[in-house]
A and B are shown apart, each in its own frame.
Chain A
């Protein structure tokens, strides 16, 4: 067992886990943050996307033991006191959410995308979300949500 201290959604946490424990299993296990979903466990679907030091990663491909001192932000960390953040609200308002299972990963991917590129084009959104699969939406309203979030964020900051 290895004890690893890292920051999750603004809180310092210590996880005791064997060396092979993934961040995804730690989030869904001892850290009790079930918003991050397990869709494939091989890094192919993006349902477990989280922000690691501000970069979108698959939590199923990250080992907890490698996270000492890291900053992890999950879907739960994008809201404050259950008030949806701008990207979350845009996904709600755009009608992008159907079954919702991929949505934590999708919203995290969109958050990372907008951080790097606050005014993306449609094709830039398509490229930025290509690693996150959704089986319900056909992506049209997902892309609309990201464009809406970009507009809202711009309005909020100006």
Chain B
């Protein structure tokens, strides 16, 4: 193929190309640089002293013996912090404990020393006198009358949202969403079913533990390389915690070894900065796996009661929801997560009336916070399990029952926002067709001696448009492009997808795009790599910035070619050409003209900043205790069918095969989308079957990969079929929707339903361990 000037077009790989990640070679060679791979001259090693008590008053901390140890260069405690509290929505926390510890594992002091062994030895020399306090470890204990209170000063804390009408000393958020008349709806229903579902704490288990390296320059500016999902949050968190101006904080992201929500907010970064400041030397902190498990974050344990009314012909009428989440010792994102649970409490189904109430509570455990799925995992497990229980009560096929109630384009979601595009029907159709749903028996079948198999289905809806972001696109003098978004690739393939979208907007190849490494000194604001938002939201910003670049290219080319702008267009391969004509000019020539000619107008640069603006409709849904959900939208749907096999003798459930159909609007990189689907499904499989952080008397008893079981190759099926459905979102330049979270959100419910189909036992608590399933199969067995 040749262009208008006779020049051969090079083959351009951009949107839709299933290319390997841009940095895959570097990672395969072992040459990728993660935070712990970095060393600076004079660098010290940091270690953290963690609280052994779940709840205690700190009477005294004496660091003198630790400071006296040879090789120790700095020791810091809560006394070295400004007298302010920090937090995301409720300012309830200090990075190092002051006066009080509220969970076992809470950081109390930090040491920097010449090597990690000296630093760890010094921890043993810090004398802390604790006075243990009574503690609460469960939602019920926290809400019991007269329960020990975690935060007596809660009323005085700074808060950035209305937390609703709180009751009980440990409740930190109470929210409600009400649409229609639920009581009337139940009266109109033929069947009303009420069930309660419970989930456990899941650990993110990214393979790279939390890590940070901080150094101050002679002018007092600090640079932090760290394992993070957001350089913007690292910068803001350090500013808030240590009262250093943001202009004196530079946050950089090297390669990141996974995040899954757990690295959204900064933590070890703050300690590295404190120690580097105190020692006047660079300091690196890398948590051990045990420390990471004890001191970082978990997914919220939850209890969700659903009461649903349905007509005898299978039409959903009304639902009442009450949900409780265990937020652990500090709030962080708990208020938003309980909000999200309510937001998705209908599932992707139509209702006449819904009344949902949520409670988030403090307990003396590790802070629960953002994790892939962000509340939607818990509520979707409950909703999809409940859908099967309702279908059984009606004597309907679970698929037919769902199809009868699917939310449709043009419908309003709970809250009142419109559903603008949906591939849900196609997802269900493809998942049931590929899995042979219609040809396999309901109620399971015998697959071997003492073994039964069954099929389960789970649907999901999630959003992709959440929080604000921006992009800068610059045309360089040779016609290649610098793309700068501040968006951190945590392993999901963001850099590659961004480059593909930028290249797609400009008719270039991904190799023509330089993805600028995230650096707050250079990058525009990006709230973070979370909420399945990057491809959608950063893509919108890239689209806006590229539109400006195209306009500027055409302006300049119009001067160069003496042609009216309206007759010019961008052609693949980096050419501005006359529509229906022969004249053209290469990007390189336009860039040189723009940059260097006196009449060139200056370098070509496009910028865009976006946030979702999609107001809730108070006439549709009344709400309270809700953070602004006006900046949430772009719904993304999916449907999964799972085939499970249960060993009736051991209670062990194995997932044999899975068909995961997800509407991604448009797959920017189909190979990466498949990777998200497969990886998300397996994380959900772990959550459904084996993963559980277990506390005894407030002590986490399994803070290691030996005690905390994430799926291995033997636990995950090879046959995970990724089925990509594309119903473009009208708000995105290529129609793309997020796929980071939906595959995980759908799978626990589908798995529980498959197990119920196989053996006729409904498991309403996750994880469905062999012990729990065996007891359910044979209640005469001792209760685990």
**Do A and B associate with each other?**
yes
B574 near A: Cβ within 8 Å? Answer: no
B5-57 with Cβ < 8 A to chain A: 18, 20-21, 23-34, 36-37
Which 3 residue pairs of A and B lie closest in terms of their CB atoms, listed nearest first? A35-B30, A99-B491, A101-B257
15 A-B pairs besides A37-B208, A82-B29, A95-B675 with CB distance below 8 A are A35-B31, A40-B705, A79-B29, A95-B20, A95-B24, A97-B20, A98-B21, A99-B208, A99-B491, A99-B492, A100-B26, A103-B27, A137-B679, A138-B675, A139-B718
What is the CA–CA distance of A134 and B492 in the complex, to the nearest angstrom? 13
Q: Are A139 and B28 in contact (CB under 8 A)?
A: no
Known contacts A82-B29, A97-B28; is-contact A102 B207 (Cβ 8 Å): yes
Q: Are B679 and A133 in contact (CB under 8 A)?
A: no
Contacts of A140 in B (CB 8 A): 674, 678, 716, 718, 720
The interface stretch among B175-183, B186-194, B448-456, B706-714 is: B706-714
Contact partner, A75, options B30, B34, B675, Cβ 8 Å: B30
Contacts of B18 in A (CB 8 A): 95
Contacts of B490 in A (CB 8 A): 99
Contact partner, A99, options B29, B258, B710, Cβ 8 Å: B258
What is the CA–CA distance of A28 and B672 in the complex, to the nearest angstrom? 30
* Contact code string B695-725 (vs A, CB < 8 Å = 1, else 0): 0000000001110001111101010100000
Q: Are B20 and A38 in contact (CB under 8 A)?
A: no
Q: List 30 A-B contacts (CB under 8 A).
A: A34-B30, A34-B36, A39-B207, A40-B705, A41-B288, A76-B30, A84-B29, A91-B24, A92-B20, A95-B21, A95-B674, A97-B27, A99-B492, A101-B206, A107-B28, A125-B713, A126-B718, A127-B714, A135-B205, A136-B492, A137-B678, A137-B682, A138-B675, A138-B678, A138-B682, A138-B720, A139-B713, A139-B716, A140-B674, A141-B678
* A19 smallest CB distance to B (angstroms): 13
* A107 smallest CB distance to B (angstroms): 6
B364 near A: Cβ within 8 Å? Answer: no
Q: Are A135 and B683 in contact (CB under 8 A)?
A: yes
* CB closest chain-A residue, reference B23: A100
What is the CA–CA distance of A79 and B710 in the complex, to the nearest angstrom? 30
A2 near B: Cβ within 8 Å? Answer: no
Contacts of A99 in B (CB 8 A): 206-208, 255-258, 490-492
* A28 smallest CB distance to B (angstroms): 8
What is the CA–CA distance of A42 and B491 in the complex, to the nearest angstrom? 24
B528 near A: Cβ within 8 Å? Answer: no
A88 near B: Cβ within 8 Å? Answer: yes
What is the CA–CA distance of A59 and B483 in the complex, to the nearest angstrom? 39
Q: Are B208 and A136 in contact (CB under 8 A)?
A: no
Q: Are A135 and B713 in contact (CB under 8 A)?
A: no
What is the CA–CA distance of A41 and B674 in the complex, to the nearest angstrom? 31
* A100 smallest CB distance to B (angstroms): 3
* B668 smallest CB distance to A (angstroms): 14
A22 near B: Cβ within 8 Å? Answer: no
Q: How large is the interface on A (under 10, 10 to 19, 20 to 34, 35 or more residues)?
A: 35 or more
A93 near B: Cβ within 8 Å? Answer: yes
B638 near A: Cβ within 8 Å? Answer: no
B209 near A: Cβ within 8 Å? Answer: yes
Contact partner, B675, options A122, A133, A136, Cβ 8 Å: A136
What is the CA–CA distance of A74 and B30 in the complex, to the nearest angstrom? 9
B592-632 with Cβ < 8 A to chain A: none
* Contact code string A98-135 (vs B, CB < 8 Å = 1, else 0): 11111110010000000000000010011101111111
Residue of B26, B29, B679 with most partner-chain A CB within 10 A: B29
B372-406 with Cβ < 8 A to chain A: none
Contact partner, A101, options B23, B208, B683, B720, Cβ 8 Å: B208
B289 near A: Cβ within 8 Å? Answer: yes
* A148 smallest CB distance to B (angstroms): 12
Q: Are A141 and B675 in contact (CB under 8 A)?
A: yes
Contacts of B196 in A (CB 8 A): none
B260 near A: Cβ within 8 Å? Answer: yes
Contacts of A57 in B (CB 8 A): none
Q: Are B208 and A39 in contact (CB under 8 A)?
A: yes
* CB closest chain-A residue, reference B706: A44
Q: Are A36 and B30 in contact (CB under 8 A)?
A: yes
* B687 smallest CB distance to A (angstroms): 12
Q: Are B29 and A143 in contact (CB under 8 A)?
A: no
* CB closest chain-B residue, reference A107: B28
* CB closest chain-B residue, reference A76: B30
What is the CA–CA distance of A147 and B256 in the complex, to the nearest angstrom? 27
Q: Are A88 and B29 in contact (CB under 8 A)?
A: yes
